[in-house]
Amino acid sequence: MAQGSCSAMRDGITMARLVLVRRVDESILDDDEAERLAHARSLVEGSIIMWKLLSKTDPAKAAASDAFMHSGKAKAPKMPTIMSGFLQQTANGEVSLLAGTSSPQGRLCIGEREGLLDDYLGFGFPLVSNVPIEVLLASTHRDLLKSLDVRIILRGSGDQKTEDIDKPYQTYLEEHGLVAYLSRPDFCMFGTAATMDDITFPIDALATELSPTKSHRVTAKTASSTLPGSSFVRRKLPTGGFTLQYDESQPSNPMATIISVLGSAGLEMSTAKDQIVEQYRVTKLNPPG
């Protein structure tokens, strides 16, 4: 899926920016595997699926695959979400909404210069907004933005504003009901602001994450839910001349039981079921044949 070297470059950019340039505590490197493994694994699994789809040697099966690809029903998978690590968190320690997803990319006109946002900014922390952030912020937060090397992109037109040529930023902000977002050097979303009163939240969160004394130890809960399927135990049951394989989770106080029959994606493809088992007992069946 053309993401092997791209992922490596994004990782290198982020680590270099944080550790070598920002001089944050090197314990942030301890989080790297927990943050990136599930993300990279999803890309590898997606590549394997695409390879299987495109490498059929049987003419009939190849023709069927071609017909499916041309039918308009084949949808490209979305970029997987980073579930933990260097991201804005809520007051109760959960990752904020949209944090860890991919930020938009498009052409901008800034002054007399036209180009893509990353070509204009380089590898920094862009804060893209529909509202005049610097006017709304107190001097302490304006100084904080400068110290964190955050570049403000005020979307719109006119004096000191940026023309959003292809409208990807306008579309993103409107679709998600945001006034601003703050992304990381690897173009992954760090945090968002839904209202003007929330503008300081991602800024303060970034300051906390970049603090030299910040502890980046991954909690046990985060580490256990990072790998898809880690909440389950695989079991076997002989029945009817077959061996039935099934995966089961056993939370201490389940609200109910959910039976999941294996479909196009197993436990290894997503952490969705790992999140469900925090409240429910889930048994995933793998029917013979």
Confidence (pLDDT) at 182 = 94
Domain segments of the chain as ranges: 4-70, 107-209, 228-286
The DSSP element (H or E) to which 180 belongs, if any, is strand 180-183
Confidence (pLDDT) at 122 = 78
End-to-end CA distance of the chain: 29
Tokens, residue 133: 């952030």
Span 67-108, pLDDT tens digits: 888 888 877 767 778 887 888 988 777 888 899 898 998 898
Rounded mean pLDDT, 8-26: 77
Contact 114, 165 (CB under 8 A): yes
The DSSP element (H or E) to which 108 belongs, if any, is strand 107-110
Sheet with 257-261, edge to edge strand ranges: 233-239, 242-248, 281-286, 257-261
Tokens, residue 38: 């599930």
CA 194 to the chain's CA centroid = 18
| Span 107-209 CATH architecture | 3-Layer(aba) Sandwich (3.40)
Find the range with the poorest average confidence among 118-132, 173-187, 199-213, 274-288. 274-288
Span 124-149, pLDDT tens digits: 889 999 888 888 888 989 898 888 88
Bridge partners of residue 189, in order along the sequence:
183
252: pLDDT confidence band, cut at 50, 70 and 90?
A: low
